[in-house]
Amino acid sequence: MKSEEFRQLGHQMVDWIADYWARMESYPVRAKVAPGEVLSKLPPHAPEQGLGGVEGWDAVFKDLESVVMPGVTHWQSPSFFAYFPANASGPSVLGELLSAGLGVQGMLWSTGPSCTELETRVLDWLAELIGLPESFRSMSPAGGGVIQGTASEATLVAMVAARSRVRRQRPGDAPLVAYSSTQAHSSVLKAAMLSGVARGASDTAHVRLLETDGGYALRPELLERAITEDLAAGRQPFFVCATLGTTSSGAMDPLGPTSEVMKRTGLTDMGGWLHVDAAWAGSALICPENQGLAAGIENVDSIAFDPHKWMLTNFDCDAFYTRDRAALVEALSVTPEYLRNAASASGSVIDYRDWQVELGRRFRALKLWFVVRHYGVNGLRAYIREHVRLAALFESWVREDTRFELAVPRSLSLVCFRLAPRPGEAPEATDARNRALLDKLNATGSAFLSHTVLPGVGGKPARFVLRMAIGAPSTQETHVRACWEALQKLTGE
């Protein structure tokens, strides 16, 4: 493609995206296609002939409308309240475009000095913003931050660093054991499967998923008991994952008491690693009023959060920080001859390839840099605060309507709620009514919510609950209110 053609088509594509953002509300939020429908509109074989220039691209723009758009679920829609948000924004999309245009591979400092140093600086900014102590930043002797693709990758990287640190300090072949609550994200188990710590998804001997308290947070006394039992049985505890903002209900594990348990049981001295998965909630820590949620952070080994969830930076972008970067490098560095270079040998540069799974790396810091510069700290804080305000409003409406109940108190911008049980109603019947309500709402296309099942605690039955996760860039009070009114109307029917 000639550069003039690229310029023309690029303008057209940016126009297309801007128009899409403007007309997003005209689509049903959740795609209404059946499985295989998109596939059936695509030719089974690759085209022999290319498009042949700018005019040929008309066909592509037509296909966008007729093939692609019907199968798009509109994650940026102001009425998207499902899962957790996956933000995109103008500045981040421009950063993504620039990153692709530069086409830099930043695996080594020497293959991308700006890619490396911009990442270091922007991550230091973010570390300061979320209230991390200096020990997690690049100016510290041992710590620093890096962009991983996802929170799942961050957990895997933390786990393999933990494994190598503990094995160095406690050589031997005692079976390794990792710990989290039952509410930790499935990526903890997956990381254990990938790293060979667990033999499969049901290997609860090597990944102990501990029961939670009534608010679905980790219980430090159960962690202490499990670590003590495992040590007594000759196993080697090595990794604890605490979550700030669990996926199901937004629960916050207590970091201080968790690290105290690791100290008391001797796990800290053995090299044991405490990782904090703050994939969604971490963005809220940019607001000083939320930083109490991370009390005790100075004693954890690593923390990761996803600006690609709730900080206006499109996927993929996970900010990962550790106080022990040497453990990462020890676990992940392999240096073939063809990667050797003077800058790396000097020891004065960071080669981020040694902090991650892959070798190659995109220039992802650009989109983060654009986002932070465009909105500024004040703008980003206002963004988070508005979503929290809207969720508090929604929570108040749920409280006022006696047909509904909160499943747990609101966590930041996540409200878990459901239709309350009728007197004498069996738990399965309440669940069925809630499932039907969710299906009906989502079928309208006017909003999209997701669900979870919260386990029964203290002998109570498990509950099917609806999740209202507010966090799309263009969501306003009118959208939240419309969703609530739709829920009320469907309930009335």
Listed in sequence order, the residues at least 6 apart from 454 whose beta carbon sits closer than 8 Å to its beta carbon are 216, 248, 249, 407, 408, 416, 462, 463, 465
Query: Over the Cα atoms of the chain, what is R_g?
Result: 24
**Residue 113 exposed, middle or buried by CB count within 10 Å (0-12, 13-18, 19+):** middle
Which residues, 65 to 84, sit near ligand PLP by CB under 6 A?
84
With CB under 6 A, what is the number of residues at the site for ligand PLP?
15
Verify binding: residue 283, ligand PLP, rule CB under 6 A.
no
The region of 45-53, 148-156, 198-206, 253-261 touching ligand PLP under the rule CB under 6 A is 148-156
Verify binding: residue 247, ligand PLP, rule CB under 6 A.
yes
The Cα 261–Cα 190 span in angstroms is: 24
Based on CB atoms, which residue is closest to ligand PLP, 151 or 197? 151
Verify binding: residue 310, ligand PLP, rule CB under 6 A.
no
Verify binding: residue 189, ligand PLP, rule CB under 6 A.
no
* Site of tokens 């669990």: 246
Verify binding: residue 253, ligand PLP, rule CB under 6 A.
no
Based on CB atoms, which residue is closest to ligand PLP, 185 or 381? 185
The Cα 260–Cα 218 span in angstroms is: 13
Verify binding: residue 280, ligand PLP, rule CB under 6 A.
yes
Listed in sequence order, the residues at least 6 apart from 187 whose beta carbon sits closer than 8 Å to its beta carbon are 150, 151, 152, 155, 156, 277
User: Do 339 and 348 form a contact (C-beta atoms < 8 A)?
Assistant: no
Verify binding: residue 216, ligand PLP, rule CB under 6 A.
no
Verify binding: residue 243, ligand PLP, rule CB under 6 A.
yes
Verify binding: residue 151, ligand PLP, rule CB under 6 A.
yes
Q: C-beta of 286: minimal distance to ligand PLP in Å?
A: 17
Residue type, 47: P
Q: 3-class DSSP state for residue 320?
A: strand
Q: 3-class DSSP state for residue 388?
A: helix
User: Do 290 and 284 form a contact (C-beta atoms < 8 A)?
Assistant: yes
Verify binding: residue 318, ligand PLP, rule CB under 6 A.
yes
The region of 125-133, 144-152, 201-209, 468-476 touching ligand PLP under the rule CB under 6 A is 144-152
Q: C-beta of 70: minimal distance to ligand PLP in Å?
A: 25
Helix axes 325-332, 151-169, angle to 10 degrees: 90
The region of 62-70, 147-155, 171-179, 393-401 touching ligand PLP under the rule CB under 6 A is 147-155
The region of 149-157, 225-233, 294-302, 452-460 touching ligand PLP under the rule CB under 6 A is 149-157
Give the one residue of 124, 301, 306, 354 binding ligand PLP; rule: CB under 6 A.
306
Give the one residue of 124, 277, 301, 324 binding ligand PLP; rule: CB under 6 A.
277
Based on CB atoms, which residue is closest to ligand PLP, 95 or 471? 471
Listed in sequence order, the residues at least 6 apart from 95 whose beta carbon sits closer than 8 Å to its beta carbon are 313, 366, 367, 368, 369, 370, 371
Residues lying near ligand PLP in the complex (CB under 6 A): 84, 150-152, 185, 187, 243, 245-247, 277, 279-280, 306, 318
